[in-house]
Amino acid sequence: MSTLTDSSAKSPQPDDSGGSGRSMNSLKAGQLPRWSRPATLGGAIVVSLVVFLITGWTTAGFAVVAALLFLVAQTVWSTLVEGKRHGMDAFWGTLVWLAFFLALVPLVSVLWTVISIGGPTLVTPGFLSSDMQGITGTQDRIAQEGGMLAGGIKHALIGSLLITVAATVISVPIGLLTSIWLVEYSTGSWLSRTITFLVDVMTGIPSIVAGLFAAGIMMTFFEWANNGISGGRQTMGITAAIALSVLMIPVVVRTTEEMLRVVPNELREASYALGIRKWRTIFKVVIPTAISGIASGVTLAIARVVGETAPILVTAGVATGVNWNLFYGWMMTLPVYIYRQLMNPTAPAAPDPSTARAWGAALVLIIVVMLLNLIARLIARKFAPKTAGR
Amino acid sequence: MSKRIQAKDVNVYYGDFLAVEGVNIEIEPRTVTAFIGPSGCGKTTFLRTINRMHEVIPGAYVTGELKLDNDNIYEPGVDPVNVRGLVGMVFQRPNPFPTMSIRDNVLAGYKINGRRLSSSDADELVERALRGANIWEEVKDRLDKPGSGLSGGQQQRLCIARTIAVKPEVILMDEPCSALDPISTLAIEDLIEELKEQYTVVIVTHNMQQAARVSDKTGFFNIAGTGKPGHLIEYDDTEKIFSNPSNKQTEDYVSGRFG
């Protein structure tokens, strides 16, 4: 047997042994068989299973012990057969895989919980097409005793949609123009550095502060317009939209700025050299080249704010019926709806129907965010510069 | 069409740094002029001053006088956009607009500037420009396909078509063949021969054979050392520069003794 432990060299000759070290090809000596990883994983699971079945079952303990056994076994085996360098590789490789599964656990768990509990509510007839107007404890008590679930999320869905669209309409032009100025016009001046810094600070604003800011602004406005009395008039959809745009603008500025910066300077120069003015160059050459990234950035910013609860609670309040008017009256949104159904059940003595509605709304919210992400990907693909066919 | 270029005591700066000093040159209309010289000697920098592309770089500026026929393009109040409409430029790396079709690339100078063209006028213009750039036969069946799908040499000729579509007087070329294979290079060189019947062509090249092949006159730029400004050492008929230059530095450079 050779002393070679480096097995990276591939040989065209067939290998008859399973890597036990008695290989015909000396270059392939000292290699773990391909099934080593599944084998150690299976072994670790079995050992852990046996240990916990004897000493008493805990799922978390079982998973931790199995993972540790897998890590140790794979590392030791690899070190013994393949050498120190491969042992190190096996150690870190196994650790990376374990981290990956660990990261998947909460994601899968959340999805599974929401789908399994919220699913039945979602398919209840009328859940998407009715609001909570006229739903009292009586209906919920009937539902608790096996009756039909009454009420729905129509008003919250409409409210979320209106407020998010309004927030997008406010923040996309501001964010887009800010980043255009930062990339195309400011030449690293102190003003541009200040704006970049402020945008970074804005990214970290807690969302409730944004909500209080918007509520404060509108309250001041109505006090000014009505001789010092706002009378709660500031609680309406557009106030919530302002609060959300405070959260959206920095995200839009940042993503758009990144996208504009990666547009090659050659394209700008090519355009200038044709006698095209700067603003036309920006709008017809630079932005179209970056549009896919900008569009997906905007969609992700929308997906981020559509789930905000606190700023909407303090700016748009709560409602039981549909309100199409962004500029007057309280308005319900999906996150606030979930919060209200859980914290203030319609029938305090029979909270189960309210809880079911909250899970259903949560599922709808997740679906909306997933759809937005999907749309972002589609937009990115559709608008991407055509480079195929070289 | 085609104008005379006349530079008088042109100094080119990047911020505080003087990159090219004291250029005096007179370029006749309907000729091909080549600028040669070692890397970093300022030939591209000077080329970019002829259509005011130099000042696109933050902090860059030019002093002196540069005339197209009788108009000084560096007179205060001159709009650089108008200058660039008269003096087109082809870049070192082919840079068709990636979001546009071949047809839209040729029409870019018109369309982006918001000028309206009737469909028949546009068709005619596209065909004339593409024929002028010797690429019509290769792309006439796929005008609606993206320009970035062409080969490097075809892309470069598309860029030339895009430049001549806006009907300039002068065409500047910044090492137009350095990213291309010999066959594409030959196609571009043939094209330069044809372009000089209508335009004043100024080309920067690192390839001395190319300069000898395509140009009527040659300017040799050199630099005394790193951090020093570049100078136009000698400017004369191409034949004289390559066979019997009057300056020792030029002789050393063209005979391959340095650079």
Do B102 and B144 meet the contact criterion of CB atoms below 8 Å apart?
yes
CB pairs under 8 A between A and B: 95
Task: Report if residue B163 sits inside a domain.
Answer: no
Q: Is A274 in contact with B88 (Cβ distance < 8 A)?
A: yes
Give me the residue label for tokens 């650089």: B80
**Residue from the list B56, B97, B99 with its beta carbon closest to the beta carbon of A272:** B56
pLDDT value, residue A14? 45
Q: Do B166 and A274 touch (CB under 8 A)?
A: yes
Q: What does the block give as tokens for B34?
A: 């080549």
**CA of A291, closest CA in chain B: separation in Å?**
10
Q: How far is A286 from chain B (nearest CA, A)?
A: 9
| Structure tokens that stand for A376 in this block | 């972002």
Higher pLDDT, A27 or B27: B27
User: ipTM value of the model?
Assistant: 0.89
> Quick one: pLDDT at residue A197?
93
Res A3: pLDDT: 43
Minimum distance, in Å, between the CA of residue A278 and any CA atom of chain B = 9
List all residues 6 or more positions away from A84 whose beta carbon is below 8 Å from its beta carbon: none
Rounded Cα distance, B145 and B101, in Å: 5
pLDDT of residue B148: 84
Q: Is residue B198 part of a domain?
A: yes
Interface test with A, best of B79, B92, B113, B160 (most A CBs within 10 A): B113
Distance from CA of B47 to the nearest CA of A (A): 12
Nearest residue on chain B to A290, alpha-carbon basis? B99
Task: Taking residues B27-35, report their average pLDDT.
Answer: 93
| Side-chain half-sphere exposure of B196, counting CA atoms within 13 A | 21
> Is the minimum CB–CB distance between B108 and chain A shorter than 8 Å?
yes
Predicted pLDDT at B1: 62
Q: Looking at the domain assignment, is residue B176 inside a domain?
A: yes
Distances in Å between the Cα of A9 and the Cα atoms of A27, A88, B176 are 7, 19, 45
* CATH code of the domain in which B37 resides: 3.40.50.300
User: Can you give the pLDDT at residue A29?
Assistant: 65
Asked if B95 has any chain A CB less than 8 Å from its own CB, the reply is yes
With contacts defined as CB-CB under 8 Å, which chain B residues touch A267? 95, 97-98
pLDDT of the residue at A19:
45
> What is the pLDDT at residue A387?
52
Which candidate from B53, B58, B166 shows the least CB-CB separation from A272?
A: B53
A276·B114 Cβ contact <8 A: no
How many domains does the structure of chain B reveal? 1
Instruction: Tell me if B23 is assigned to some domain.
Output: yes
| B90 pLDDT tier (thresholds 50, 70, 90) | very high
B52 in Cβ contact with B216 (< 8 Å): no
Upper half-sphere CA count for residue A292 (Cβ side, 13 Å): 15
Residue A299's φ and ψ, nearest 5 degrees, are: -65, -40
B176 in contact with chain A, both atoms CB, cutoff 8 A: no
Q: Does B144 touch chain A (CB under 8 A)?
A: no
pLDDT digits (tens, 9 = 90+) for B239-259: 999 998 998 889 888 888 765
Does A284 reach chain B within 8 Å, measured CB to CB? yes
- pLDDT for residue B183: 85
Nearest to A214 by CA among A189, A239, A194, A191: A239
B186 touches chain A (CB under 8 A): no
With helix as H, strand as E and coil as C, how does chain A read? Answer: CCCCCCCCCCCCCCCCCCCCCCCCCHHHCCCCCCCHHHHHHHHHHHHHHHHHHHHCCCHHHHHHHHHHHHHHHHHHHHHHHHCHHHHHHHHHHHHHHHHHHHHHHHHHHHHHHHHHHHHHHHCCCCCCCCCCCCCCHHHHHHHHCCCCCCCCCHHHHHHHHHHHHHHHHHHHHHHHHHHHHHHHHCCCCHHHHHHHHHHHHHHCCCHHHHHHHHHHHHHHHHHHHCCCCCCCCCCCHHHHHHHHHHHHHHHHHHHHHHHHHCCCHHHHHHHHHCCCCHHHHHHHHHHHHHHHHHHHHHHHHHHHHCCCCHHHHHHCCCCCCCCCCCCCCCCCCHHHHHHHHHHCCCCCCCCHHHHHHHHHHHHHHHHHHHHHHHHHHHHHHHHCCCCCCC
Hey, what are B28's tokens? 């006749």
Partner-chain contact A273 B85, CB within 8 Å: no
Domains assigned to chain A: 26-120 (no CATH), 137-383 (1.10.3720.10)
Chain B residues in contact with A288 by the CB 8 A cut-off are 99
Residue B178, domain extent: 5-95+170-254
Which strands sit side by side in the sheet containing B200-204, from one edge to the other?
B71-72, B60-68, B5-14, B17-27, B230-237, B217-223, B32-36, B200-204, B170-174, B87-90
Predicted pLDDT at A10: 44
- Assess whether pLDDT exceeds 90 at residue B49: yes
Mean pLDDT of chain B: 89
CA distance B58 to chain A (A): 7
Q: For residues A214 and A239, is the Cβ–Cβ distance under 8 A?
A: yes
Backbone angles phi, psi at B26, to 5 degrees: -135, 115
When pLDDT is averaged across residues B28-51 and rounded to a whole number, the result is 91
Q: How many CA atoms lie within 13 A of B107 on its CB side?
A: 22
Residue A20 makes CB contacts below 8 A (sequence gap 6+) with A33
Q: Which residue has the tokens 């079911």?
A: A356
Q: Do B53 and A389 touch (CB under 8 A)?
A: no
DSSP designation for B229: P
Quick: pLDDT tens for B111-121.
888 888 888 98
- The answer to whether A76 faces chain B, any CB pair under 8 Å, is no
Q: How far is B101 from chain A (nearest CA, A)?
A: 9
Domain assignment present for residue B104? The answer is no
Residue B104 and residue B111 in contact, taking contact as beta carbons nearer than 8 Å: yes
Residues of B in contact with A275 (CB under 8 A): 81-82, 84-86, 109, 113, 166
pTM: 0.79
Q: Show pLDDT as tens, one digit a residue, over chain A (390 residues).
A: 344 444 444 444 444 444 444 546 667 667 778 888 888 889 988 998 898 888 888 888 888 889 899 999 988 888 888 888 888 888 998 999 899 999 999 999 999 999 999 998 888 888 888 888 888 888 888 888 877 888 889 999 999 999 999 999 999 999 999 999 999 998 778 999 999 999 999 998 999 999 999 999 999 998 888 887 777 788 899 999 999 999 999 999 999 999 999 999 999 999 999 989 999 999 989 998 898 889 888 888 998 899 898 999 999 888 888 888 888 889 999 999 999 999 988 888 888 888 999 999 999 999 998 898 888 888 878 777 655 443
Decide if A276 and B113 are in contact by the 8 Å CB cutoff. yes
Q: B259 at the A interface (CB within 8 A)? A: no
d(CA A115, CA A362): 9
Task: Give the mean pLDDT of B193-211.
Answer: 91
